[in-house]
């Protein structure tokens, strides 16, 4: 007991020892009771001494190190400023860069440099969400949806089906008041997109500012119309697109027509141009975030993280789209099997490739890949892709194929994700993609004579 009482011990241990002595002092023999009381008093003195030291040191630390929190301390402020400076340097050196412009001919290249200055400007992605997946995921939620009132039209297809078109006539156009000659912009949404997607609405808004008319081609069965035949759509089949373009040409023979396609809509446009060559009324085409090689696109989307973030969700969207028309489709397809698909590849194997008569899904993917038809494109086509797009990986972007065709130009940004291209502190109103669209549309419509012979 003497050793315990005299040894310096931690605060909590000292308190415990004293408490036990107080509890058992009465049990000691009379000869030891006085000595135990002395040991207890010494321990209490030691306890008071330790407590005073601790409180004194703690008070000194609080007064000198954390007077007003992290930002009030010199160390905290230094850390914040240092991190901010380091992040700014990294952003300016590695993130904000000029896009790479590639063209198969000097004439198209210089046309874009002269009439679309955005192709030469540094792209500054939104500094707090420049990573590709974040850009892709946030685009639908961050960007505003401009108010657009459409005029819907249903036209008949050759197989008896119907196609839904949403028109924005822009009858208030000041620069093109005559409806017969007002330029027309055809817009094609992505895989499960409609005329209500934010990126489509922004392009309609840009076209309205330019005085042009817009028409959105909604793929069969996705915009609320009834599916009259057991057939939907795919990137390889361009029959419905041909029907729509012919319909526009018949109704507005004197109107200049250009087109813009996003993601799968861009793939469909590129495949259409590759098949038609010069036999089209389109004066120019711009394509955003297209998947050039479907095999590479699906392989990228099947990586664990991208499968979790994108693949499963898009598959469920495809299934929801066909489920609405199940009474018509289940007469020809095993819809229970289709609804059990867990990836886009499985959905295509069980539904899309069978619907369009391909011997296998590989045959369908080869036919749907626009990279194989780029050499046949005879209309000026500008293609915007981000190098970090997980839907269309950078190694599959057809740089060499573009270099072989004077009618093609490729604009590659380091960042932007898939249909992201967010820029500015709070990217609500406009994106880099919107600026590319507006400048190219204006150049094609108003300076199109310079694009008549690019070879």
Q: Is the CB of residue 359 less than 8 Å from the CB of residue 343? A: no
Contacts with 41 (C-beta within 8 Å, 6 or more apart), sequence order: none
Q: What share of the chain is helix, strand, coil (3-state, %, to 5)?
A: 50, 15, 35
Other beta carbons within 10 Å of 310: 20
Range list of H helices, 97-238 = 106-115, 132-142, 198-210
Contacts with 403 (C-beta within 8 Å, 6 or more apart), sequence order: 102, 103, 104
Instruction: Report the distance separating Cα 359 and Cα 353, nearest Å.
Output: 8
What 3-state class would DSSP assign to 110? Answer: helix
Other beta carbons within 10 Å of 171: 9
Dihedral sign of CA atoms 453, 379, 277, 248 in order: negative
Burial class (CB in 10 A: 0-12, 13-18, 19+), 212: buried
Strand partners, 286: 260, 382
Q: Is the CB of residue 407 less than 8 Å from the CB of residue 381? A: yes
Q: Count of alpha carbons within 13 Å of 142, Cβ hemisphere only?
A: 21
Catalytic machinery residues: 263, 389, 418
Instruction: Report the distance separating Cα 133 and Cα 325, nearest Å.
Output: 32
Instruction: Report the distance separating Cα 190 and Cα 419, nearest Å.
Output: 10
Dihedral sign of CA atoms 186, 187, 192, 197 in order: negative
Instruction: Report the distance separating Cα 364 and Cα 350, nearest Å.
Output: 12
Tokens of 191: 């895989």
Return the DSSP state at 89. H
């Amino acid at each position: 007991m003497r050793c315990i009482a005299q040894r310096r011990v931690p605060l909590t241990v000292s308190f415990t020892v004293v408490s036990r002595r107080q509890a058992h002092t009465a049990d000691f023999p009379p000869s030891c009771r006085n000595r135990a009381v002395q040991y207890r008093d010494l321990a209490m003195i030691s306890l008071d001494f330790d407590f005073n030291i601790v409180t004194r040191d703690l008070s000194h630390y609080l007064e000198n190190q954390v007077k007003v929190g992290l930002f009030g301390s010199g160390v905290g402020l230094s850390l914040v400023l240092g991190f901010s400076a380091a992040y700014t340097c990294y952003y300016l050196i590695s993130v904000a860069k000029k896009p790479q412009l590639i063209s198969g001919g000097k004439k198209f290249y210089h046309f874009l440099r002269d009439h679309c200055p955005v192709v030469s400007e540094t792209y500054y992605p939104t500094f707090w969400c420049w990573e590709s997946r974040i850009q892709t995921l946030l685009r639908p939620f961050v960007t505003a949806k401009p108010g657009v009132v459409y005029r819907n039209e249903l036209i008949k297809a050759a197989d008896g089906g119907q196609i839904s078109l949403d028109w924005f006539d822009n009858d208030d156009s000041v620069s093109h008041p005559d409806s017969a000659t007002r330029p027309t912009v055809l817009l094609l949404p992505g895989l499960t997109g409609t005329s209500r997607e934010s990126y489509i609405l922004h392009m309609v808004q840009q076209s309205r500012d330019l005085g042009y008319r817009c028409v959105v081609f909604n793929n069969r069965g996705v915009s609320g119309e009834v599916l009259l035949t057991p057939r939907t759509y795919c990137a390889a089949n361009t029959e419905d697109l041909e029907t729509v373009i012919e319909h526009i040409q018949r109704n507005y023979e004197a109107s200049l027509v250009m087109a813009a396609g996003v993601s799968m809509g861009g793939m469909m446009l590129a495949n259409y141009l590759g098949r038609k060559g010069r036999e089209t009324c389109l004066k120019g085409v711009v394509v955003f975030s297209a998947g050039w090689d479907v095999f590479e696109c699906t392989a990228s989307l099947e990586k664990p993280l991208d499968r979790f973030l994108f693949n499963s969700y898009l598959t469920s969207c495809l299934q929801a789209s066909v489920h609405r028309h199940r009474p018509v489709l289940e007469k020809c397809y095993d819809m229970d099997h289709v609804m059990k698909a867990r990836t886009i590849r499985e959905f295509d194997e069980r539904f899309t490739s069978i619907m369009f008569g391909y011997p296998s899904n590989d045959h369908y993917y080869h036919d749907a890949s626009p990279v194989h038809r780029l050499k046949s494109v005879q209309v000026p086509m500008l293609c915007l892709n981000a190098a970090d797009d997980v839907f269309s990986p950078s190694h599959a972007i057809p740089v060499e194929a573009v270099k072989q065709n004077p009618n093609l130009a490729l604009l590659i940004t380091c960042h932007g994700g898939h249909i992201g291209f967010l820029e500015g502190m709070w990217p609500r109103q406009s994106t880099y993609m919107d600026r590319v669209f507006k400048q190219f549309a204006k150049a094609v419509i108003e300076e199109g004579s310079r694009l008549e012979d690019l070879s």
